[in-house]
Structure 1
Amino acid sequence: MKVYKVYIDPGHGGSDPGALGPTGLKEKDINLGIAFKVGQILQRHGISTLLTRQDDRRVELIDRVKMANNDRADYFISIHANSASNPAAMGTETFAFPNSDIGTKLADAVQKSLVNEIGLANRGVKHGDFFVLKNTKMPAILVEVAFINNPKEEKLLKDQNFSDKAATGISKGILMFLGMEYKEENYIDKNISPWAKDAMEWATDKEINLTDGSMPKEPISLERLITILHRYHNLFGK
């Protein structure tokens, strides 16, 4: 099975804050947070993900493109927050490079999924010759999640729950485009100790109920352990 390599590009960074919201919210910070979450979700689905920046630093556009091209990425996803002179501008849009059929299909999948997840106005898929779309050797898209200059949408971008939904929407769109099924995150990913993860994943694969409300790290009583071993013996005769 092919392991896809996806480059995620959090726009701006460092001395380049990107667009600013009415209360001073910086686009660069929103982009990075959403990008990290997208990376985590895609990795959970077996996709190799790399970020053009992992902290608050300025990375030139040419260097972002070189990273993806040199690593022979399969796809390039640039994440941004939009801005306009009109404070009433609103909604979500996704760009692909003109005449890129695959890029347009990817943009369409992400746009539909993102709008469905966050519920903002659908501004549709558009085409543009942004540097990162024009100079990458793989299909690339640029996502404009919301208008940071719009007071209402800036407030949403400040909300971690909204950012998580945006990341989920982008990720679902990528997975749908790749023909992969989105799987919800469960508490195994968050709470299980590394040494126990294989066993818990085995239990999930076997459809053993792991959501009975018990805490995964609570000590087990001797009675409960003996009961588990006894049931195992009755099932397998060992």
Structure 2
Amino acid sequence: MRSRYGNKPLQRERPFPIQMLGHNLPILLFLILAVAGMGAVYWFFSPVDSSSSAAEALAINDLDGGLSAPIYKTVPDKPVLQRLAQSPGPLRVGIIVGHRNNDSGAVCDDGLTELDVNSDIAQQVYAQLLAKGIHTDLLDEFDPLMQDYYATALISIHADSCDYINDLATGFKVAGSSYTNSSQLSICVEQAYYDTTEMFYHENTITPHMTDYHAFREIAPGVPAIIIETGFLNLDRDMLTTESYKPANGITNGILCFLGRS
């Protein structure tokens, strides 16, 4: 009797894992490709190791003939605006009593000394400035405080010779420091002294001892400083003694002019 299945050979059934692999092969291939693609993307966009990036960049630049040094971008300074104006420091004036605690200076036949005149005028200026609320120091000729002394202004008060030279040896003179711009202080004192005393300005007798006055080299840089010869002890004696308030007022007014307090 012939079988209804004919003569077809009997096929053996495949194992289950192989059957599953065959059915899911497309999905497996997709997953493999996806993982490979993600790895490629990560590798492409990941940063280069910092320890080798600088050396590699320099090597590439050297090969290409490019720059071999880092490029720095200059950022301009940004000004800081101050809402309120900064308050100036406290005023301070130094008054040198010419020759004090050093020598007498010029001496007249009757015993009047330049130091006497300088001390009288300087004391009056000192008192007037204090009355205006201005901190003032009264200094010796070679005062230890003079080293790097800092003030708003420094004025050294002196007087000229007691000897009779000629009828033109009368008047006052002012010399400013050559180490610091003291022109404004000089102008203020010259004008105020002239207005108050009406004395002649004796410019042509200014000496190197005045222009290179020792205190100019000792005080702190930037301090405006002058030396004034208030008059000649011979022909200007009355002005410097019995009317000494006039020279004192002239110097004080000049200082106040410089300080903007006149």
Question: Into which bin does the TM-score normalised by the smaller protein fall?
Answer: 0.5 to 0.7
Alpha-carbon separation, structure 2, partners of 1:41 and 1:120: 21
2:201 corresponding residue in structure 1: 122
* 1:9–1:15 CA distance, 2 compared to 1 (3 A): closer
Moved more, 121-130 or 137-146: 121-130
Alpha-carbon separation, structure 2, partners of 1:95 and 1:146: 14
Matched, 1:27 2:114: yes
Pairwise mapping of residues 65-84 of structure 1 onto structure 2 (< 5 A)? Answer: 66-69=144-147, 72-83=150-161
* 1:23–1:154 CA distance, 2 compared to 1 (3 A): farther
Alpha-carbon separation, structure 1, partners of 2:145 and 2:101: 18
1:47 aligns with one of 114, 123, 134: 134
Structure 1 contact 97–129 (Cα < 8 Å) conserved: yes
Structure 1 contact 7–68 (Cα < 8 Å) conserved: no
Q: Percent identity?
A: 30
**Counterpart residue type for residue 104 of structure 1:** S
1:156 corresponding residue in structure 2: 239
Alpha-carbon separation, structure 1, partners of 2:162 and 2:109: 12
* 1:24–1:87 CA distance, 2 compared to 1 (3 A): farther
Structure 1 contact 79–145 (Cα < 8 Å) conserved: yes
**Counterpart residue type for residue 143 of structure 1:** I
Structure 2 unaligned segments of length 5 or more: list them: 1-86
**Counterpart residue type for residue 173 of structure 2:** E
Structure 1 contact 111–124 (Cα < 8 Å) conserved: no
* Structure with larger Rg: 2
**Counterpart residue type for residue 255 of structure 2:** I
Alpha-carbon separation, structure 1, partners of 2:104 and 2:199: 24
1:110 corresponding residue in structure 2: 189
1:98 aligns with one of 159, 163, 178: 178
**Counterpart residue type for residue 91 of structure 2:** Y
Report the Cα offset of residue 87 of structure 1. 4.7
Moved over 3 A (4+): 68-71, 124-127
2:230 aligns with one of 136, 145, 156: 145
* TM-align CA RMSD: 2.3
**Counterpart residue type for residue 229 of structure 2:** E
2:103 corresponding residue in structure 1: 16
1:208 corresponding residue in structure 2: none
Structure 1 unaligned segments of length 5 or more: list them: 54-58, 182-238
Alpha-carbon separation, structure 2, partners of 1:8 and 1:15: 16
Report the Cα offset of residue 156 of structure 1. 2.6
2:250 corresponding residue in structure 1: 169
Secondary structure of 1:108 counterpart: helix
**Counterpart residue type for residue 177 of structure 2:** F
Report the Cα offset of residue 69 of structure 1. 4.3
Report the Cα offset of residue 113 of structure 1. 0.6
* 1:15–1:172 CA distance, 2 compared to 1 (3 A): closer
Structure 1 contact 68–136 (Cα < 8 Å) conserved: yes
Alpha-carbon separation, structure 2, partners of 1:21 and 1:156: 15
Matched, 1:178 2:259: yes
Report the Cα offset of residue 14 of structure 1. 4.6
Structure 2 contact 96–157 (Cα < 8 Å) conserved: yes
Pairwise mapping of residues 199-218 of structure 1 onto structure 2 (< 5 A)? Answer: none
Alpha-carbon separation, structure 2, partners of 1:12 and 1:76: 16
1:202 corresponding residue in structure 2: none
Structure 1 contact 25–154 (Cα < 8 Å) conserved: no
Instruction: State the TM-score, normalized to the length of structure 1.
Output: 0.63
**Counterpart residue type for residue 151 of structure 2:** A
